[in-house]
């Protein structure tokens, strides 16, 4: 990975290879996390070919690699794919659990976080938890998921409403077709201890 980083930096500094338009100011050529690698370059044949040469020189596995395009016409796209021998994939895809898309994300792309919290609510529903235990679950496990997403993406308003509803179901308990009587409003529950609340994170405000 260190050799790859040096080769890509040298390539951009000394040759007629251009950064991806959104990466020029940062001087960004690639991102690495564990065994995942994302390389960014301008969508022209010389730039992509040079990047492919560097990857091949380091024995990158092209059978496990894909190419993603944005703003490249279909003819040039096919020329590039033929030249480098990669298969084309389409957006969106997930990287480190988060959706990646060149345009604005739709609400359905946030389904993974909603489904994880739904699973957590259902698993806790069969356990006899005190309110103190539920507060711990909400502030650690649920908020951990929310914090991971909110630190990188702005959650749509309707997604915040769905997640807040799931948090309420976890706290108050939930049975299909039955309305649960509550002794305190959710806004009060999310207020600090000093104000009589339980200091649960308010997702809408945090987001």
Chain centroid to CA 75: 31
Segment among 59-73, 163-177, 187-201 with least mean pLDDT: 163-177
pLDDT at 108: 83
pTM attached to this predicted model: 0.62
Q: What is the mean pLDDT of residues 141-161?
A: 84
Q: Evaluate if residue 181 carries a pLDDT over 60.
A: yes
pLDDT at 176: 61
Q: What DSSP string runs through the chain?
A: -HHHHHHHHHHHHHSS----GGGTTTT--EEEETTEEEE---SSHHHHHHHHHHHHHTT--GGG-EE--SS--HHHHHHHHHHHT-EE--S-EEETTEEE-SSPPPGGGGHHHHHHHHHHHHHHHTS---HHHHHHHIIIIIHHHHHHHHTTSPPPHHHHHHHHHHHHHHHH--BTTBPPP-SS-HHHHTS-GGGTS-----HHHH-
Q: What is the mean pLDDT of residues 137-166?
A: 85
pLDDT at 175: 61
pLDDT at 185: 81
Provide the mean pLDDT of the chain. 83
pLDDT at 83: 86
């Amino acid at each position: 990975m260190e050799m790859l980083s040096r080769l890509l930096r040298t390539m951009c500094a000394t040759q007629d290879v251009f950064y991806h338009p959104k990466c020029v100011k940062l001087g960004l050529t690639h991102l690495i996390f564990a065994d995942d690698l994302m390389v960014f370059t301008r969508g022209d044949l010389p730039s992509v070919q040079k990047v492919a040469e560097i990857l091949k020189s380091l024995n990158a596995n092209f059978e496990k690699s894909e190419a993603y395009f944005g703003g490249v016409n279909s003819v040039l796209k096919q020329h590039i794919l033929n030249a480098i021998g990669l298969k084309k994939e389409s957006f969106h895809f997930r990287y480190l659990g988060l959706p990646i898309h060149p345009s604005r994300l739709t609400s359905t792309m946030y389904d993974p976080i909603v489904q994880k919290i739904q699973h957590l609510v259902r698993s806790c529903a069969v356990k006899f938890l005190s309110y103190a235990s539920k507060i711990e679950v909400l502030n650690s496990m649920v908020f951990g998921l929310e914090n991971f997403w909110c630190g990188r993406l702005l959650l749509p308003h309707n997604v915040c409403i769905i997640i807040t509803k799931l948090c309420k179901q976890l706290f108050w308990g939930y049975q299909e077709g039955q309305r649960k009587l509550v002794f305190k409003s959710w806004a009060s529950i999310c207020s600090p201890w000093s104000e009589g609340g339980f200091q649960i994170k308010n997702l809408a405000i945090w987001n």
